[in-house]
Amino acid sequence: MKVYIFLFVVLISCSPIQKMENQKTEINNILDNWHKAAAEANYENYFGAMANESIFIGTDATENWNKKEFQAFAKPYFDKGKAWNFKAIERNIYFSSDGKTVWFDELLNTQIKICRGSGVLVFENGQWKIKHYVLSMTIPNENVDEVVKIKSVIEDKIILK
């Protein structure tokens, strides 16, 4: 009898761990498929993965779009059959205590070399949706001064607004 109780306790205690691993796999698949949809210029799949009231923040200081604005910006790229191609090199996924919100960060191999993405997914109507995404270019610390000189001409105007 003690063996059965022990096995029952072990099974119950492992269940949440397995569930979290399954959810991490699901989130990884959603994000990988989202990036793949852009690489394949699949507009419907790409924007279908995003919540209706999602936000996309790009690498340029002026790129802070709601979903409709981002769709308008991106549509010409998708229509040409070539959007962007991001592949995750590494990704960290974190769950809220209620399991309905996920935030993540990822290092990406892109056509503009290594970038960092981070975002939030929410569980809505029985499915995960990307609610917020931020794309950033990485800059080696030893090159920061050079990059600041290049971008100052443009960004000083934005700062003064």
pLDDT digits (tens, 9 = 90+) for 80-102: 998 999 999 999 999 999 999 99
Would the pLDDT of 111 be above 90? yes
- Band (pLDDT 50/70/90 cuts) for residue 43 is very high
Task: CATH number of the domain at 115, please.
Answer: 3.10.450.50
Number of domains in the chain: 1
Give the residue numbers spanning the domain of 68.
Answer: 2-160
Residues 6+ apart with CB under 8 A from 32: 88
Pairwise CA distance, residues 25 & 129, whole Å: 15
